[in-house]
Structure 1
Amino acid sequence: MYELKEKEMIFVFTGPNGAGRRTVADMSGSTLGVKQVISYTTRPPRANEVDGQDYHFLKPAQFFQAQQNGEFLEISEIDGNLYGVKSRDIEERFRSKGSIYLILNRYGAQKLKELYGDHVVRIFIYADRRLVEQRFREKGYNEEQIAGFMSHFDEEMAYKDECEHAFENIDLAHTVFDLTKTLDKYLERNLLDLD
């Protein structure tokens, strides 16, 4: 496992599907120059997802082989699909950048917190259930797919109070603005004078 240096931080974006955690994470990371470590999954890509950008999509046999080789720092299973983060990816990102971010479910976020302690800051991104359902409909998902996504909503929301920060994502620009100010304090760069 990679030993983090004093100022190296791992920002973990978590929260229910459809709340906009990926969009918020990517915009904040881009603003602050923090690079993403991308997770691996055995589930097939959804509409508009790109391999190597949203996830590294692996066949189950490839995932199991990497697991047998001890490549994963953490693994979780949701709805029969496996998700994991490779230690090598974290190490490589830290060699080129001082801090990183990941987009993980609550189990992945908790595992990284246990492994890296105060170097991990969990950012919970959420929205009201009706708004999340509306966003899925606008993206063209059918009611059965939406029900599948929403089956984990309450479970994910229950993790909110365990996270260091929580942002309700109603207005994307405001959420990113507030979040970027918060993360900049951890980075101690004083790059942003947003007040």
Structure 2
Amino acid sequence: MYELKDKETIFVFTGPNGAGRRTVADMAGNTLGVKQVLSYTTRPPRPAEVNGQDYHFISGEQFVEAVRRNEFLEVIEIDGYMYGIKDKDVEDMLRENGAVYLVLNRHGADILKRLYGDNVVRICVYADRETILERQKERGDSALMIERYMSHFDEEMAYRAECEHAFENIDLAHTIFDLTKTLDSYLNRNLLDLD
């Protein structure tokens, strides 16, 4: 496992599926020049997802082989699909950038926090149940997928108290503004507040 240096930071975006955590993470990452470490999964892509952009979509056999070679920092199973983060991906991107971000559920966030301690900053992005249901319907999730995602809603919301920061994502621009200022305090990039 890669030994993080003092100033290296891993931002982990978590929260209920449909709260906009990936959108928020991507926008904040782009603003601050922080790169994403993608998870590997055996889950099939959703209609709008792109391999190598949202996840690395791999077969069950490829996943098992990577586990056998001890390539993953963490491996979890959710709803019958496997997810994992590769140690080498985290190491390479931290060496290059000094900070990275990941989008994970509470289990993955916990694993990284245990592995890297204070170098991991967990950010819960959340919204109320009705807002999330509406967003899932708008993006075309099936009733079965929505039911599966919502079965984790209460646990993901409860995890908010464990996170270093939490942002309610109702107004995306407002969320990004507040989040970017918060993340900049870790990066010491001193973004100008022109308000």
Gaps of 5+ in 1: none
Secondary structure, aligned partner of 2:11: strand
Q: Write the distance in 2 (CA, Å) between the matches of 1:153 and 1:93.
A: 31
Shift of the 194–102 alpha-carbon distance from structure 1 to 2, 3 Å rule, reads farther
Aligned to 2:153: 153
The yes-or-no answer on 1:86 pairing with 2:89 is no
- Contact 2:181–2:191 under 8 Å retained in 1: no
Matched pairs, number: 195
| AA matched with 2:60 | P
Q: Write the distance in 2 (CA, Å) between the matches of 1:83 and 1:189.
A: 32
Secondary structure, aligned partner of 2:45: coil
- Contact 2:14–2:103 under 8 Å retained in 1: yes
Q: Write the distance in 2 (CA, Å) between the matches of 1:160 and 1:177.
A: 20
- Contact 1:106–1:156 under 8 Å retained in 2: yes
Aligned to 2:121: 121
- Contact 2:79–2:148 under 8 Å retained in 1: no
Secondary structure, aligned partner of 2:144: helix
1:139 deviation in Å? 1.4
Shift of the 149–194 alpha-carbon distance from structure 1 to 2, 3 Å rule, reads farther
Secondary structure, aligned partner of 1:158: helix
1:143 deviation in Å? 2.5
- Contact 1:184–1:192 under 8 Å retained in 2: no
The two structures have a TM-score, normalised by structure 1, of 0.97
Q: Write the distance in 2 (CA, Å) between the matches of 1:169 and 1:105.
A: 17
Shift of the 96–153 alpha-carbon distance from structure 1 to 2, 3 Å rule, reads same
1:94 deviation in Å? 1.2
Bigger drift between 92-101 and 118-127 goes to: 92-101
Secondary structure, aligned partner of 1:177: helix
| AA matched with 1:11 | F
Aligned to 1:138: 138
- Contact 2:71–2:86 under 8 Å retained in 1: yes
1:144 deviation in Å? 2.7
1:26-105 counterparts in 2 under 5 A?
26-105=26-105
1:194 deviation in Å? 4.9
Aligned to 1:16: 16
Q: Write the distance in 2 (CA, Å) between the matches of 1:185 and 1:45.
A: 35
The yes-or-no answer on 1:166 pairing with 2:190 is no
1:192 deviation in Å? 3.2
Secondary structure, aligned partner of 1:31: helix
Secondary structure, aligned partner of 1:77: strand
Aligned to 1:111: 111
Q: Write the distance in 2 (CA, Å) between the matches of 1:57 and 1:192.
A: 38
Q: Write the distance in 2 (CA, Å) between the matches of 1:41 and 1:194.
A: 41
Shift of the 194–11 alpha-carbon distance from structure 1 to 2, 3 Å rule, reads farther
Q: Write the distance in 1 (CA, Å) between the matches of 2:144 and 2:113.
A: 34
1:74 deviation in Å? 0.4
